[in-house]
Each structure stands twice: as C-alpha cells, then as structure tokens.
Structure 1
C-alpha cells in the first residue's frame, strides 16, 4: 500500500519547515536559488508546484524526485562588467565603473572592488539599483598595481549568490623627479637630473624661476640638465616630466623647486694694514685680507715668510688679523691666502715695515689762469720726506682746514695731500701744512708759511715791468730810425724793393704786436 503523506507550504519569502512525501514525484518543479537542507520524496507527485523564494529546511519524501523544478526571482545575478583605465599615474584620481547589464527584477545591488585574490580589503563599494552604473573614484597608489575584480551581490539577501567580473589589469605609472646638488662653483659644471622610477616615453622640460629655460647650446632639454660656469645660471629650477599613455592621455609630474646657486670663486686677496697704538705705548698692526670677488663663506689665512699666523672663516669678503709691530724695524713679509671652494688663491707678499714720519715737509703750488691772464685758482701740495702713515693738516691763519669749505677742498693721498683753493677775498691769508703719524700725534713737522692774496698773485714784479718797457722803447726807436732813413730816398720804386725798406716794415709789424700783447698784461 502506498501511503502518501505530504506537507507543503507555498509562500513568498517563506520557509518550508517540513515536507515528507513517500512514493511521490514532482515533475517540472524547479527551486533555483533555494537552499534545501534535506529532501526525500517517495512515490509522490505534485505537478505544477512553484516555490518563489523558499528555504526548505527539512523535507523528507522517500523515493521522490524533483526534476525541472522552477523558483523564479531566486536566480543568480548576471556577471558584472568592470570598466576603467589600464594605466594610471600614481597620486592621481581615476574612476572605475561596474554594472550588471540584466536583472529579472529591480533590486538593490552592492558593488565592491577588490584586488584579485585579496578580499580582505575593499578598494571601494557602491550601492545602486539593477541597471544603474556603479562609480569608484580611486586615489591611485603603487599598491593598486595588478588585477582588479568587481563583486556584485543583492543587498539583504543571502539566498542569491554574489557574482564576480572578469579581472581588469591596472598598471601604475610613477614619475618621480629628483635633482642633484644645490650649489656649485664657477668653472665646474653641475648636472641636474630628472629621475623617474616608472614610465617610458617620457619627455622633459626645465623651468627657471617658473619660466621655460631658453633654448641654448649650453642647455639641453633632456632628462639631464648641465649648468656651467656662469653666475647668471643661478635661480629656482623645476623639472617637468611628461608621459603620454596610449596616445590619448598625457600625465605630467613636476618636481619640487630646487634653488641653484652658482658660487663665485674667490679672487686673489689684497693685504692692507693700519697701525694703532695701545694704551701702554706699544703698537700693533690691524691687517686686512680682502678679495673683490667670491661667494661667502670665505676662509682667509695670514702667513709670514717663516710661519702660519692665523686663519678665519667669515661671511664677508674680508677678514682682519692683529699682530704686534715695532716702529722703524723691518719685520719681514706677509701674505694673505683665500679659499671658498676646492681652490686656494694667494695674494702678493707685502713688507711689514712701519716708518715714522721724519725729514723735511715741503709745500708748493700750481696756478690756474683765467681770462686776462689773471690767477683764479691754486693747487697746494704738501709732502713729507719719509713716513709710512703720514697724517696731513692744512692751516689758514692758524685755523685748520678740513674736508670741504666755501673756497677750498682737501684731498688726502697716501704720498701727499692736496689743497684746492679758489682765489678771492675769503681765501686771502697765510697758509702752511703739518705732518704727523696717523697712529701717534706726538711728532709733528710743519712746512714753511706762504701768504696768498689775489692782488699779490696778479701783481708783476718791478724788474719785469722795467725790462718790458725798455724793450718796447728800443723797438720804437729802431722803427722810427728806419722810417726816417727811408724818407731820404726819393725814388719810390727803389725804395719799395730795397733791403732797408723790408727791414723797416718787419720792425714796425713786430713792434705793433708787442704793444698789443703788453697792453693786455695786468698791472
């Protein structure tokens, strides 16, 4: 006897808790997407049965079969499609998209983006209704290199199995720019190089102070930039590396700005020194080593013939050293050395011999003549016979003349002092100069005095006037005599061509010229 025992529950979203059919068959039944823990149908037949969304927890139908059973709405989702760039530049934002093209019912789908083989970390997720596109904006890092997959699943429904897209390969391009040293000296080239860790078909451009580097035979617009010995090459350099991908997209990366300073090599130093007096009466020399060119810091060193004296590194183009001296004693020779790179330059040897002022002090002048041969200016010169550091002073009627005044100008030179004077009423008086050591005013030597006055300067001596007048009277007498003798000849023709007539004419012309010149002289 066949015993049919059936318990069937047909519900939307329900669970068939128990079903046991013995000896039955269910032709045409299909339960896609359902989870059947146990089912046994024996000898039973349920034609046309349909279960929409069911979870058969326990079903025991001995001897039963469920061929071709159908469970609509519980079908597996279609396979998602993943779109995105195949190559991306590191540290840029790229967008990937994923969609399920067909779905039997409008449901909420969760899209997740993973690296293939690593489901522990989600690269991005997006929720959309079936038929809508999911967007994944990603900030590209080097770890994204490789294959990606998109996983689609129905939200809040564990019955429908998730589906996975075909894998999509992403190549991450990194353009990293680095440059070399920041400074170098004239005469030595510097190489700046754009280094990229990844990428090919890269072109380069160099910017100086934000502007493209001008085309020049000295500057080659390639991955490596060579700078040469010119200070004008100093500036803020930036490299731009550009990578064109698939002939459609162009990626570029700009390096951080590098301030390049072309350092000027130090020039040969000059040695100067001054002598100063201590309170105890001793003397010392303040030696200065200085260079006209050179980028600080500069190391200056002072040497004598026999030994090293001192060294100093400064942020200027000069350095000072102090050494003791003895007056009127030759203390040898000194030399300055300078260095601000890998080259040392040497100055000239200078004798360290300080001589105190001594000997005679001489004063003389030159005159500047204006209109009518009158003297309008004077240049006084004052010098001393010996002395390394003489100090000059000018006096007018016992008053010191310093610097520049209304009618004078003092110009001191190492060998002498010059007083430029405008001749006038205010400049009249007695002049003289004195000389002393610049470091010690105990020894003072004076020149002779000289009285200066405009009338005196322009007054001719009596002897000169007498000689000029005597010559003039002599010539007048000579001309008169020649003319008187000429009158004795009555024939004009003979008179016109005689030697005596030519002498008379020449003497008369010379006398007239002399009279004109003499009359212009001031008296």
Structure 2
C-alpha cells in the first residue's frame, strides 16, 4: 500500500518502479540512435505573409538517420491536419517549401518527418509555427441596420463590412471624425443610441490595414441620415391622441404644451393618454408628458421627448384666373393662376383641361401659375384648378379661355347731369368696341393722353364691356375727346373713335332740331284744338237747329248783361227789373 499526501507520493516499491522505467527508456534511445528513431524536425519561415505572394519555409532534421530517405511534409493544423506540400531529404539537406499564400494557410504550421522506405520508424513532428496571412483591404460597404430617416431619440445602427483582415475602422460624419459622447463605435460597428437633429448628415466608414511598412485604406459609400424632430400632422376638426411612453405603478402624468400645463376644456386626459376630439390651429405646438412617482418622500420625475404637433387648415376652393403673355410678335402663352385663400402650405396645385391633367406644382404660398402655350386666334378648352394640402381635394370652377383680337368700330356716346337751373354740370362719355378680349382703353383730350384721374375727370373701366370717362363741366374740361382701344397683350393694333367736342356753351345750347320739333308740336296742338272746336259747332247745329241758335243768343245776351253790370252802377235796379220782366215773359211763353 501507498499513501498520497498532496503532491508527494511516499513508497519504496514505487521508487524501484521508476528506476526500471528510466532504464528501459535509455535502452530504447540507444537502439533508435542506431537507426530506428527519427529526431525532431525544425521548421522555419516567415510569421506573416501577404496574400498571393510566395512564402519559403525550411524543415531540417538533425541528426539525419544513415542510409534513410526522409520525407518532409508541411501541414496546417486546425480541426484536422491540412496538407500543404512535400519535400524529400536524401542526405540530411533541409527540405524547402515554396508556398503561394492563401487566407486558408493562416494558423499553426508543422513539419512532419517520416522514413520514406521504413514503416517501422515512427514519424516525428516539429514544434508549431504560427503564420498570419495578411489580406489588404480593397473595398468597404456600410450596411444599415436601422432606418436612415428617424425621429429624435431613436437609435441609429450602422455596420461596416470589408474584405481585408487585421483591419481598423474609422467613422466619419460630414467628412469629420465622430466624437459625440452619445455615439458608441467598436471596430466595424457604429451605434448612436439617442439621436438628435445634430446627427443628421453623411456617414462614411474608412477601413485600413498595413504590411513588411505599406498602408492600405479603402472608403465606403456615403450613407445619408436624416434625424427629424418628432412631428405629427393633423387637420382642423380631426382628433389627436397622444400616449406617454412612461409606464409604472402609482405614477401621475402631466401634459405640457409649449412648456405650459394644458388646461383647455376640450382636451381630455386619462392616465397617460391625451385626447383632443376636434382640433383647431390653437392646438399646434410641442407636446411633452412628465411622469412622476413618489418614493420614501422623494419625488422622481421623468420627462418625455417633445413631439411637435401641427394642426393644418384645410385648403379652400381655389380661384382661377388667366392673363395673356406675349413671348414675341408671333408667339403667345396663357398664364393661368390658381390661388386658395385658406389652407396651410405647402399646397399641391393641379391644372386640368377638358381632356385631363395639364401640369402640377407644389406651392409654399397657396398660389401657383401655370404657363400654357397658345396659338393666337384659336379658342382654348376650359380649365380648372385643384388644390390639396393633405386632406381633401378642393376644386375651382371651369374657366373658359378666349383670346380675340380687337375689332372696330369704336363708338363714343355721352349723357349728362343737369342742375336746378337746367344747366349741364356733369358729362359721362362711353367708349365701346365691336369685338375683342383683354381690352385696354385710353382717353384723349385734344390729343393728350388722360391718366386714371385728374382735377376735372375720372376714368372708370367696366372691362371688357366699356370704359367711362366722367367729366365735371367747366373751362378746364372744354375740348375734343376721343378714345383708343387695343389688346392689353398686343400694341400692334389700335382702333380710335371719332372725336367729340364738348364745352359749357355747346352743352347748354338747344339744338336747332330740338327747337323746330318743340315749336312744330306746339303749332300742331293749336291746330288740333281749333279743328276740334269747329267740328263741335257744326255737330251741335245739325243736331239742335234753331233751338240751338236761340240758346246761343240767350247765352250771348246773358253774357253781355253780366258785362254791363259792372259799368252801370246807377241803373242797377232798372236793369234788375228788365231782367225780371224778361224772365217772366220767358216763363209765360213757356206756359203757353
């Protein structure tokens, strides 16, 4: 029996066994030295090699056995031994291996020595020789592990891949090394765990390595990253729902709008939820929620990221108008203007004709102008506008576009105002043309152009029907007036009216024709009354005969008596008596 104490073994029989083993090993060594044992080979060569270059390795066996041919084999030791080459040593010379280096050659290399013609001799192996195969970088690429358009507070994760080894990586933002404290980069990885708008920009990865003082560097493609402010867009009348990201037990929540507590009666709160049933533009702004909890008398408050809410006004139905634009003497175009009075920009405007879409454009001021080429003299189709800023599509009415060159004649007429003394105090001149569109009227006094208004006149245009010149009659307004009409887009054709002379005396003088008509009418009335009276006398005479003549005589006598009363004041009683007798005689005659 023997007893083991720790690492020491105490037994005299065991000492005897060890001595026997040593003696046997000595005998074996002596016998192998005599030609039955191969020594340990020595492998030498470079520890680093460039890919696709030739690396030379040597393997020596000392001492070399007499009268034996030794086969030297170069192996790569991994999970299994991989053969790399063979070389034969006949008389103790070193075996040489010329190896075209590949990435798979990297690792632990060994040299095996084996008696080529004697299988009784056991093979031996050299110590391992580590080889690093250097691959120069030639290309790099950035893989995007997250979205390149993100909101503030979200993470950005990029990964750089390359085809080299022993590579070091450098990350650049806008061609500058990244040094932000909230950026974590490790070898090929870039991780921004809490982005801000300052992290927007162009990102590039540079991969580099070096080999025997030669540097190799490659640059990846650019990756454009946009970090947006957290934003939500709703339209007036729509609802708004927000949720505070914090969650926990016995937490209280406070909502802030532009850093002020929200106290509007149309805002509803429930735990970590905020709800506005019908939004208005007053609800626009930056919303923040604060979550708080109290623990052992200490209040802990956590504040969320801001989210910007924009309440947009829905775009109104656009107005549509057009103007003719002259490119040169032969080419014209139409500028169609679409404009909405209400609506939060930007607004997308579209122009349609009777067959479909003509053009569209995005406007920052609720107004867009479309240029449509036209051929002069042709009638265009009807046009209409549509506007949209993200809610519903608003439309204008159809606008017919007609371009017509001015054609005569030009008429000039007037009327006037009369004061209480029947004197003319004001005149209105009317200028009209037979045909034309986009008309321009010009007034002239004694061949001098009149502006829009002066001391005694005012120009009032009722386009396209006519133009009115309003005058105050006086010494300054006397003269000859005429108007000229042309197209507003083309000055090559103008048509003038005839001149008309106006002054105070002319306006207040009755025309000869008027006087003749008035007097003619008066004479005609006199003749008509006289004729009627004559026909009346003739008719009554035929109807009543002598009785009518007697009645006429009585009326004449009575009339003459009435005239004599005023002349004879002394014989009034006698006259009255005569009258009475006349009446009695008339009565008696009547009785008979």
TM-score (norm 2): 0.44
Report which of the two structures shows the higher radius of gyration computed on alpha carbons: 2
Which structure shows the higher helix fraction? 2
TM-score (norm 1): 0.50
